[in-house]
Structure 1
Amino acid sequence: MYFLHRLEELFLLLLVYRLVLIPKRSGRCALREKKKINEINIVRAFAILAVLIIHATAGARSNVPWGSASSPFYITVNQLSTFAVPLFIMITGLVLFYRYYDNWTWEQALTFYKKRIQYIVLPYLIWSIFYYVYNQAVYNHEVSFDIEALSQQLLWGRAGYHLYFMVIIIQFYAAFPLILTLFRKMRLSARKVIGAGLLVQTVFYILHYWIGPFAHKAALMPNYFLVFCVGAAIGMSYQRFTELAGHLWWTFAASVAVGFTTVLIGLASRSGAHYWPPVYAVLFNLYAILVGFSALWIAQKLDARASAASKLANAFGALAFGIYLIHPAVLTLWRQIYNPDPQQSVYHLYNLASLMIIIIVPWAVAKLIKQSKHHWLLFGKS
């Protein structure tokens, strides 16, 4: 009995140590904050500006007749801006791995998920309901509420044409603890992390193109796994990356070359040329990665100078999430108020005005809402 009593005491001591002492130690580890990456907001500014350009020129790209003098211009501008979503995902991978890779423990997973539900999932639900109602009111001038229809739209981000991005991000956040733990257990170097991303995305494309197409390919996490892993690799050793960033000037020239190659292939396709499907996927991802490197290089240069331009870009990028969520509502209303025919002489000025409006108005509204105590309900928290 004496032995069993001592064994019971030992068990209780071990239990207390496991439940109390270890969480406290890992909690201190979790609270250890790394130096903030100031230039990330400038990169976000590049990405959100590209999103706005895509949406401002989308109508012209479709409506301006092929063969007209301005059609190649709208196609080129729109196509060169398609790095936007991959760049945002690359930043996500960078920030997550920069923050958690060195001090991750499973005890942090619950807090991680709680924050993402609070700051990502909740705003997504609120804005999905808003656009579900808003689009009906603007286009149909009446509103009906169908729970089944809304739930289907929520599943794939269809309540607004821009919300599919939120679905992708939620998938990455849901999988992140598993991805990070797996990479750490396998002790993958930065290069091997990129290799893992390439492998996953290659398998995904093989399944899509040769086995059977995925119905919602654009909203699926594996479709962007390579750019996420490139960002993760940078985040794992960001200090080393900043030391090399001064030699990355060539990535800007390379991104321009790859971007215009993609545009030329697209223009040729409209004229009847046919290319092997993976060519588009390779160019799309290569272009996004090169733009990502270029954007980080430029952002570091701007941030170091602390000029008026860098401060403006930083302020714009800091509100990128709010601008992203608000601008479709502004653009939809503007096009309901005034939407000239492509044949009218004011059409090109109209598109320029549309871009200016969805830059200025959402920025001002987001800045105003950001001053509210409960702004995180709408815009989350970075």
Structure 2
Amino acid sequence: MAQLAKRPYLPALDIFRAFGILAVIMIHATSAVVANYDHKATLYPLYVFLNTFTKFAVPVFIFLSGFVLFYNYYNKPFTATAIGQFYKKRISKVLIPFILFSFLYFAFTRLAAYGFSDLQTFIGYFTTTKFLKMLIFGKTYVHLYFVVIIIQFYAISPLMLYAVNRFRKSSRHIVWIGLLVQWLFIFIIVREYHVVSPGSYAFTYMLYFTAGAFIGIYYEKFAEWINLTRKNATPAKIAASLVLWALFLSSNMTMVYFYYEKRLTGLSVINTSLLELIDEVRCVTAAIVLLQVSFWIYTSWNKMVVKALIHIGATSFGIYLVHPLILYLYRQTNASGSPILFHVWVAGGFLLALVIPWAIMALSAPFKWHWLLFGPLPTKKKQPASPIQPSIQG
């Protein structure tokens, strides 16, 4: 069978990434408020809504990883050279920045907690088994666990690509296989063996990765439905989109209601297993909704806004790594005063956690070794594909 040509670059995916990182920053910018603010305050429900509604962030990033990997590699020859190149790219893009930032955040937290007494004591923090365990599980700072999950998916992706290429019909069932693996891990292995921090394992997110992989494999079949316009809209496509959006909104609002009641009363109004199923519906539909919105924005919005969103998306990994430090430093400022000033302060944290890391990425891009800290950053324009149906040659 002839190999298909390289599939075109899809710039709308960077807009997808932009929404993902905006959701991440929203979660982190509102987390302290949700935990500590007066639960009876007028705007407290708004903070719970903003914090909970955006908690699809990690699953949709994992969905996108599956989409991109299988979109790019599904039809490529599966050779030792190809596998070597795959891991080489991932080491430079993710692993080295992760290790460096793990050291930086661990050093920062030690200094913040204990100060600096002498160099020997400071170096000693990094020679303990505690540090090694925290490094392996992405626990040197609260957000780095996500990078460990992505590394785990990169580790198993060549095996998954081999399986779906060796058994071509299995690609049709990859979502159900991913769902089964996720359920077995969450409902059986975690509970039976009392797994600590199940959110640090890729198996917890297998459904989202395989859902992205499925759409990446069959992108040409989904392209016109994802990029729904007046020209290609049919009653069936419109109905399917309405069902999709209804599921997304209803499942997400159910999650908001659950966490709001949990905060107010301390009681769980929904069974844990049922809540897991609702969350799975929320996250999968959120990913597809964001795909639709991203393609619509790319084709319909003001070019300057589109360009800005694409740049945010293209630098999202670096923004993700840096933004918690900005939030930490910002929260050292005094938020006391009138309620209005407090809400302005919270909004300022969100804006600065986005703008400052984004500016750092833009300023770092021209330097040759920026990838060591931030992974690849955009330095030149890529040739975009048609957002609807890229041409694929046999």
* TM norm. shorter chain > 0.5: yes
Structure with larger Rg: 1
The answer as to 2:305 corresponding to 1:332 is no
Equivalent in 218, 229, 241 of residue 199 of structure 2: 218
Distance in 1 separating the partners of 2:191 and 2:324: 35
* Residues 342 and 284 of structure 1, relative CA distance in 2, 3 Å threshold: farther
2:91 aligns to what?
A: 117
Residue number among 316, 322, 333 corresponding to 1:320 in the alignment: 316
Which residue of structure 2 aligns with residue 291 of structure 1?
286
1:130 aligns with 2:126: no
Counterpart code for 2:369: H
Paired positions, count: 353
Aligned equivalents of 1:186, 1:243: Cα separation in 2: 27
Summarize the alignment of residues 1-382 of structure 1 with structure 2, pairs less than 5 Å apart. 33-107=6-80, 108-142=82-116, 144-145=122-123, 146=125, 147-148=127-128, 149-188=130-169, 190-208=171-189, 210-245=191-226, 246=228, 247=237, 249-250=241-242, 251-270=244-263, 271=265, 272-305=267-300, 307=302, 308-336=304-332, 338-341=333-336, 345-381=340-376
Distance 1:175 1:342, change over 3 A: farther
Sequence identity percentage: 30
**TM-score normalised by L of structure 2:** 0.84
| TM-superposed deviation, 1:345 | 4.8
8 Å CA contact 2:138–2:146 kept in 1: the answer is: yes
- Between the aligned partners of 2:299 and 2:199, the Cα distance in structure 1 is 36
Which AA in structure 2 matches 1:123? P
Q: Distance in 2 between matches of 1:342 and 1:219?
A: 39
Q: CA RMSD for the aligned pairs? A: 2.1
Q: Tell me the amino acid that sits aligned with residue 158 of structure 1.
A: K
CA distance in 1, matches of 2:62, 2:360: 25
Q: Give 1:135 shift.
A: 2.3
Report the alpha carbon displacement of residue 266 of structure 1 after superposing the two structures with TM: 2.1
Q: Deviations over 1:200-219 (max 9, x none)?
A: 01111222564133102111
Using the alignment, how far apart are the partners of 1:159 and 1:210 within structure 2?
26
Using the TM superposition, name which of 275-284 and 96-105 deviates more. 275-284
Q: What's the TM-score, normalizing by structure 1?
A: 0.87
Which residue does the alignment assign to 1:3? none
SS class of match (2:367): coil
Whole-Å separation in 2 of the counterparts to 1:68 and 1:342: 15
> Which runs of 5 or more structure 2 residues have no equivalent in the other structure?
229-236, 378-394
* Bigger share in helix: 1
Of structures 1 and 2, the one with the larger relative CO (CA 8 A, separation 6+) is: 2
Q: Secondary structure at the match of 2:169?
A: coil
Deviations 1:115-151 (A, max 9, x none): 2122211111111111111222334433723222321
Give me the whole-angstrom Cα distance separating, in 1, the residues matched to 2:270 and 2:109.
Answer: 37
Distance change >3 Å, CA 181–CA 118, structure 1 → 2: same
Distance 2:180 2:76 in 1: 26
In the alignment, the residues of structure 1 paired with residue 40 and residue 289 of structure 2 have an alpha-carbon distance, to the nearest angstrom, of: 33
Deviation at 1:68, TM superposition (A): 2.7
Verify the 8 A CA contact 1:168 1:219 in the aligned structure 2: yes
Structure 1 unmatched runs, 5+ = 1-25
CA distance in 2, matches of 1:273, 1:177: 40
CA offsets per residue over residues 340-362 of structure 1, 9 Å max, x none?
Answer: 25985522111011111111111
SS in 2 for 1:188: helix
